[in-house]
Structure 1
Amino acid sequence: MQVLKFGGTSVGSTKAIEQVCNIVAQYKRKGNMAIVVSAMSGITDKLIQCGQLAGQCQEQYKSVLQEIEIKHLDTIRALFPITVQSSLLSEVKKQLNQLEALCDGIFQVGELSRRCQDKIMSFGELLSSWMVAEKLKQMGLNAAWKDSRDLIATDAQFGHALVDFDTTDHQVTAFFQHQPASFVVLPGFIASNSDKDTTTLGRGGSDYTAAIIAAAMDASVLEIWTDVSGMMTADPRLVPQAIAIPRISYEEAMELSHFGAKVIYPPTIQPVMNRRIPIWIKNTFAPDDYGTLIQDNGEKPFPVTGISGIQKIALLTLEGSGMVGIPGFSKRLFDALLREKVNVILITQSSSEHSITVGILENDMLSAKAAVDSEFVQEIHDKRIEPLIVEKDLCIVAVVGDNMKNHHGMSGKLFGALGRNAINVRAIAQGSTEKNISAVINKADVKKALNVIHEAFFESETKQVNVFVAGTGNVGGKLLEQLQLQQEYLLRELGLQVRIIALGNSRKMRFSESGITLSTWKEELEAGHEMDQELFARHILDMNLRNSVFVDNTASDAVAGMYSNFLQHGISVVTCNKIACSSQYAEYKKLKDLARKFNASFLFETNVGAGLPVINTLNDLVRSGDKVQTIEAVLSGSLNFVFNNFVNGANFRQVVKAAQDEGYTEPDPRIDLSGKDVMRKILILARESGAVLEMEDIDNLSFLPSECLNAKDVPAFYEQLDVHAAHFQALLKASADKGERLKFVARYHNGRASVGLQSVSPQHPFYQLEGKDNIVLFTTSRYSAQPLIVKGAGAGADVTASGIFADIIRTVR
């Protein structure tokens, strides 16, 4: 014998019921079959609503009854030929008249008992199963309908009755032994007590009905047909990368279903597990899919089988020094919860016996607190223990797998993945069988946590990186272009799926959780919302995605001010904006500390030398124990371009104007010529080498006359360059007379830093520096005789974007 169970979505419409009947028809040569059917999807909720409205004396219950009637009558009309509809419609109306009379009585009394609620809820399964049976008959199959209340016996605990298995097994076997029909259709979810009152087995109880019958008849298999192709490694609504689990053990399935996997009702597994009857979960709407087979353990490709979670959890903590070494506290705690029928989901206790923590559903926390505080009122009064501590807005995530016990490092992998994404763990529980590791976290982190854990255990070949980009100008545009070109390479060679989740510039912002298409990013951004920096930052935090990276391509104070908030939420920051790292030392130190504390990266390689590996080289020296003695550098591509072109016969004003026209300087060239940008860069290098320096500690040996610096605007500045042409020519002549060249040099030595124009000899490494290149000389304890030199293009959108690109990859590798 085989038992098939079809869920609510499987019979939720005329088309779905026809599909169910076609599936059943394929079994006609496979022996006798029991077919258990749920109520049509949504009907049970409407029946509950009906009873509640009637019990509250609200006449709206009549309109809900009408909706239920229309749904079933319309299904009959669509499902059957018109020639046979009359008697079928009459039977449905007869059932619905009984339901209406029951609700009318409740309305008159103004009270809804649990007994009446069970009776009301039974109509959903009674009607749907009867319709399926009639459809099978109409198709010419040898089918019959049987009321499950005649077979399954329970106690009188309405709403969630306990099964009397001895009586039930006897009644089930006696019925099927003398049943001539090949296909027996039964309503799930419902049963009856010794007084023949209708009882229910709990929401999801249709699975349980099928398991009870399968166990009683020692069926060859129990098939549960639903709207998904088996159990998944995680909830696909929260984890899009979840994959189907082809095989799973009874114990693993019980763990996953207990921790929120909705595919199967938790009590279902026990009756069939005792008889070693396989459970096969199949998809009604994709019947050719393999699904999931639940049976004795077999070989699995992963140590972890699946990940699940329970939301709306509260933690109760009983603690106090008066508990240490005193027996009975745990018993009294659980007895108090038992009296209030509070189910305990998770238990953890400190080895010092100073505290015990349990996890329960949030709905039970008020009654639980009142019961426990009442139980320990004397101890609380005597200050031997504290009043019960209650924490809410939590959830449990659980990692389940029979094979975890055979693999080292499972717990470390789990908690490492959570920690790297700034997900705080409030409590931990692990059974001695090592089949389950559970962690309590904030409910706001549940989606992120499930994705992080799934990536750690099931996506070892691919890692998703979620990038939020501020600034889409020259550098930002080049970065997006480079990311588009390298997408396939990153996925193929590095296993990185880089997704641009948000773009923002001074005018617009655009978010897409599935990722912005890089080939059309300009159009998508233009179609976005007006830029609101506060909203932009808040939405990044609210999305709470794993492996998040914020990229700042701007020169904005306001954007730099967002960094600390991102870092303390575990979001890495990559920036070419020098403002944060060259601000007050305390702010720079705070950002570095936050990155370390919250396991986030704070990377700013492009602050100095664009794409050149200047900061990374310096970091490697310092981390390996080398001591920096001197840093000498030409750090401004703009100034290097100016002085490489300011040669004999050149006019300084014309050279500066040419540099501006070429885009090598800012729109106001004084920003470059003043040396402030170079001061920021040498300050950052000094700090990265370990110095505690402020901007005002750096000597700026300016070569510009004050009249040039203080000109009222750019045209006036150029006029002053002409006025002081002799000054610049004198600087040039003094250098040329010695056979030297002018370079704007930054220097750090023995805790002191300076920037200024210098004349360098042909023997100096700076002498041959051409174009807009940068060069940095590190003289250290290890590189004392010959400095370590980093040299190359130090300006330009392409090279800056490539440096940012490299930092993005570095955050996740």
Structure 2
Amino acid sequence: MKVLKFGGTSVGSVKSIRCLKKIVEKEAKHQPVVVVVSALGGITDKLIETSRLARRGDGRYRSEFDAMVMRHHRMIDTIITDPKKREDLFRTVDSLFEQLKSIYFGVYLIRDLSEKTQDAILSYGERLSSSIVAELIKNAKLFDAMSFIKTTRKNGSHVLDSELTGRLVREAFEEMPRISVVPGFIGRDNVTDEITNLGRGGSDYTAAIIAAALDAEVLEIWTDVDGFMTADPRVIPSAYTINELSYIEAMELCNFGAKVIYPPTIYPVCVKNIPIRVKNTFNSYHSGTIIKKSVENDSKPIKGISSINDTTLITVTGLSMVGVIGVNRRIFTALAENGISVFMVSQASSENSTSIGVKDSDADAAVNVLNNEFCKEIETGAMFPMHAESGLATIAIVGENMKHTPGIAGKLFGTLGRSGISVIACAQGASETNISFVVEKEFLRKSLNVLHDSFFLSEYNVLNLFICGVGTVGSKLIEQIKAQHDELKQNRRLKLNVVGIASSHNAIFNRDGIDLDNYRKQLKESETSNLAMLRNEILGMNIFNSVFVDCTASKDVASLYKVFIENNISVIAANKIAASSDYNSYISLKQTALARGVKFRFETNVGAGLPIIGTINDLRNSGDKILKIEAVLSGTLNFIFNELSDDVPFSETVRRAKEQGYSEPDPRIDLSGTDVVRKLVILTREAGYKIEKEDVEKRLFVPEEYFNGSINDFWERLPLLDSDFERRRKELENEGKRWRFVARMENGKTDVSLQAVGKEHPFYNLEGSNNIVMLTTERYKEYPMLIQGYGAGASVTAAGVFANIMSVANI
């Protein structure tokens, strides 16, 4: 199950709440979901403002209250179309508003607003929004968070009673509905049963508590941004979304001003190792930011820059502090007992001063608390009165990889120094996850910009891609490029810029890059294209670092490779035609690419995403010689013979292969061995042998006459082979063998045939549509090398093409 939390902006408008409905109902198709909601955007602030008007005896509180009622009514009128449901919801909401109206009137009469009353008032925001959401979403069940979120009084504040809350949550959700709706933020005191809350941002915390108690698969925080950013985009327009963060990195960024999630949210799920995904309600297709225990293969030392712009630095100093045990304990104990949070500490090595960073709003109280704590020392002159310096800002650079990267601090302070920015105080923990420093507030924007430029905006290696073919492979490739775009820019300094996309009839070009979110619409609206236009447009753009990516099976498109390579455009081909055409054309393409210093890559011609051709090239480049190749190279044929059984005749397996996308649109191409012959020719050539397709000996298992006539004739006649195949299959089964369509090369001699292999053979257990290649070389003679895995499918083929693109960038 998942827990999905939606913030105020996600329920703040008709558009956003409809997005919420769509997201929740989509997720609920796959698993149960718990939906935690905040109050409608701005309502919590309005509740506070209205209560203060009432406390002052200001009659304007009534108009503010009426405005809140009207806003909720308009929302219900717009989104709830069923008259009966709408009336029922109006009764529920109006009942809550009547209670709230009475509380406000009481505050107005007695001119008093206690903490207890304020908490009760604030609870109505989430109680109202959750009632609306629960009615909007079909088959949703509304839960009362106050029945299981329990708090206890500690140091003057309400804090979570974790043990009791965890038990009550598990009891409440013992019978899990498909969709549960829970108001966030609110709870009850475990002793007095009074309404309390978890603090501003507490809806995130509610969601995390529930996720941890129920061992959720993931906690999703839906908000109005795409995730954590490298910096505040309002200050730094070039800031971009961070794909992955560790719990520690996320906590550090939250503590230093990144308001994406409420900091206490992280702890409950961190303990249970439950990932947090931050996503945008208004851009649900963006992958967002995933927060987890550790980030694999992460080479970037800095993840983000965060800041707190209302900082006061308080310095506790005195000669009596040197070598005296317990001074810092007294500082932090006194502040904690008075509810004052410290977000940064800097201490001189001589121990004669300790500087602490607090928010401006806490500064006066902190100074008074510390002066009272050390009043005797101040009176005797052993310590000085507290010194507070305001008008400051705190900046933190965050990233767990800083501890593995020498020179980060030097680069940080060197960059600031060259920009004329003085550092007033700094702090770095032994874990080296965070380097924090204080500057004058007027230098905050400048500091953020120079650091972001220094750590994130180095020049990218740009590849300009022309993608031809938007069928199953081409469209998957575009999806993968889109999904990986930010990751590659952030972690590889590589920008993949798709400047051209062509289908069989249309093409679009844009030197600045094509919007991959709506390229299909652009293609439909573009002018009709042809081969000559495609060639002329690509050559005419004369753009640097160009790569032509062929995801078609077109002979005509393959004929363009030579001219592209001659014009210094690298070619990546999923299309097998060029590499399996006549040998002289094949070798000419390779030699021209070598001479021009560009790449001609076609790894996916054999084995989809399997590293077969690359491995053969590596072996040969290291001085080894390929003596023999034995392979099952057709995922289609392997699927067919693996599906064959008592219940599934031969003709049905062929039909299934086509329906499930394993075969060519015309399965006869697979059954004739044409595809396998092409692949074997390519492997044999890459192994260093000169060969043409005609040189391959073919021993087929379907009579030649089945390949003549129309495709409909083929399907009608195919069942005639079923009885013979079933008889032979049973014979094989009794012998403990299985069929495999094997391609074989030995010392340049090639053949393809249907073979029966026993249990001792490496090909025997080959499953599904997998491919397998066994390479016997001079070095791997006694124990041949095996390469095995998915050998068919659009996603893995596209991934192999993507890998070839990356090889052009020398990544």
Shorter-chain TM-score above 0.5: yes
Give the aligned partner of residue 674 of structure 1.
none
The alpha carbon displacement at 1:395 in A equals: 1.2
Letter in 2 for 1:248: L
CA contact (8 A) 2:344 2:358 kept: yes
Specify whether residues 14 and 276 from structure 1 end up closer, same or farther in structure 2 by C-alpha distance, changes over 3 A only: same
| Cα distance in 1 between the residues matched to 2:95 and 2:346 | 54
CA contact (8 A) 1:10 1:225 kept: yes
Give the aligned partner of residue 187 of structure 1.
183
CA contact (8 A) 1:239 1:450 kept: yes
CA contact (8 A) 2:184 2:206 kept: yes
CA contact (8 A) 2:89 2:131 kept: no
Give the aligned partner of residue 40 of structure 2.
40
CA contact (8 A) 1:159 1:200 kept: no
Letter in 1 for 2:160: V
The alpha carbon displacement at 1:327 in A equals: 2.4
- For 1:463-487, what per-residue CA distance to the aligned partner results, in whole angstroms no more than 9, with x for missing partners? xxxxxxxxxxxxxxxxxxxxxxxxx
| Cα distance in 2 between the residues matched to 1:82 and 1:30 | 27
Q: Percent identity?
A: 44
Of 349, 352, 375, 2:350 maps to 352
| Cα distance in 1 between the residues matched to 2:246 and 2:229 | 14
Give the aligned partner of residue 137 of structure 2.
136
Give the aligned partner of residue 7 of structure 2.
7
Of 428, 434, 450, 1:452 maps to 450
Alignment of 1:529-678 (within 5 A): none
Alignment of 1:116-195 (within 5 A): 116-137=117-138, 142-156=139-153, 161-179=158-176, 181-194=177-190, 195=192
| Cα distance in 2 between the residues matched to 1:459 and 1:37 | 37
Residues 1:197 and 2:194 aligned together: yes
The alpha carbon displacement at 1:121 in A equals: 0.7
Give the aligned partner of residue 56 of structure 1.
56
Give the aligned partner of residue 68 of structure 2.
68
Residues 1:287 and 2:284 aligned together: yes
CA contact (8 A) 1:302 1:457 kept: no
Of 271, 291, 294, 2:268 maps to 271
Give the aligned partner of residue 108 of structure 2.
107
Alignment of 1:105-504 (within 5 A): 105-137=106-138, 142-156=139-153, 161-179=158-176, 181-194=177-190, 195-298=192-295, 299-461=297-459
Give the aligned partner of residue 77 of structure 1.
77
| Cα distance in 1 between the residues matched to 2:336 and 2:222 | 35
The alpha carbon displacement at 1:82 in A equals: 6.0
Give the aligned partner of residue 484 of structure 1.
none
The alpha carbon displacement at 1:157 in A equals: 6.1
| Cα distance in 2 between the residues matched to 1:3 and 1:166 | 20
Give the aligned partner of residue 97 of structure 2.
96
CA contact (8 A) 2:33 2:178 kept: yes
Letter in 1 for 2:127: L
Letter in 2 for 1:107: Y
Aligned residues: 459
The alpha carbon displacement at 1:354 in A equals: 1.4
- For residue 293 of structure 1, give the secondary structure of its aligned residue in structure 2: strand
| Cα distance in 2 between the residues matched to 1:313 and 1:351 | 23
Letter in 1 for 2:16: A
CA contact (8 A) 2:156 2:339 kept: no
Letter in 1 for 2:211: A
| Cα distance in 2 between the residues matched to 1:370 and 1:252 | 33
Specify whether residues 232 and 197 from structure 1 end up closer, same or farther in structure 2 by C-alpha distance, changes over 3 A only: same
- For residue 367 of structure 1, give the secondary structure of its aligned residue in structure 2: helix
- For residue 309 of structure 2, give the secondary structure of its aligned residue in structure 1: strand
CA contact (8 A) 2:155 2:337 kept: no
- For residue 313 of structure 1, give the secondary structure of its aligned residue in structure 2: strand
- For 1:438-492, what per-residue CA distance to the aligned partner results, in whole angstroms no more than 9, with x for missing partners? 0011111111111111111101228xxxxxxxxxxxxxxxxxxxxxxxxxxxxxx
Structure showing greater radius of gyration is 1
- For residue 187 of structure 2, give the secondary structure of its aligned residue in structure 1: strand
CA contact (8 A) 1:118 1:159 kept: no
Give the aligned partner of residue 500 of structure 1.
none
| Cα distance in 2 between the residues matched to 1:329 and 1:229 | 44
Alignment of 1:774-789 (within 5 A): none
Give the aligned partner of residue 28 of structure 1.
28
Letter in 2 for 1:134: E
Q: Which runs of 5+ in 1 are unaligned?
A: 463-494, 496-813
- For residue 342 of structure 1, give the secondary structure of its aligned residue in structure 2: coil
Specify whether residues 449 and 159 from structure 1 end up closer, same or farther in structure 2 by C-alpha distance, changes over 3 A only: farther
The alpha carbon displacement at 1:343 in A equals: 1.1
- For residue 242 of structure 1, give the secondary structure of its aligned residue in structure 2: coil
| Cα distance in 2 between the residues matched to 1:381 and 1:90 | 65
The alpha carbon displacement at 1:244 in A equals: 0.7
| Cα distance in 2 between the residues matched to 1:235 and 1:261 | 8
Compute the TM-score of the two structures, normalised by the length of structure 2.
Answer: 0.55
| Cα distance in 2 between the residues matched to 1:277 and 1:378 | 49
- For residue 357 of structure 1, give the secondary structure of its aligned residue in structure 2: strand
- For residue 324 of structure 2, give the secondary structure of its aligned residue in structure 1: coil
- For residue 159 of structure 2, give the secondary structure of its aligned residue in structure 1: coil
CA contact (8 A) 1:159 1:201 kept: no
Over the aligned positions, Cα root-mean-square deviation in angstroms equals 1.8
Specify whether residues 99 and 171 from structure 1 end up closer, same or farther in structure 2 by C-alpha distance, changes over 3 A only: same
- For residue 162 of structure 1, give the secondary structure of its aligned residue in structure 2: strand
- For 1:41-89, what per-residue CA distance to the aligned partner results, in whole angstroms no more than 9, with x for missing partners? 1000000111122122222211111111111001011111262322222
- For residue 26 of structure 1, give the secondary structure of its aligned residue in structure 2: helix
Q: Which runs of 5+ in 2 are unaligned?
A: 461-492, 494-811
| Cα distance in 1 between the residues matched to 2:113 and 2:253 | 34
Compute the TM-score of the two structures, normalised by the length of structure 1.
Answer: 0.55
| Cα distance in 2 between the residues matched to 1:156 and 1:96 | 28
- For residue 451 of structure 2, give the secondary structure of its aligned residue in structure 1: helix
| Cα distance in 2 between the residues matched to 1:379 and 1:209 | 44
CA contact (8 A) 1:159 1:199 kept: no
- For residue 39 of structure 2, give the secondary structure of its aligned residue in structure 1: coil
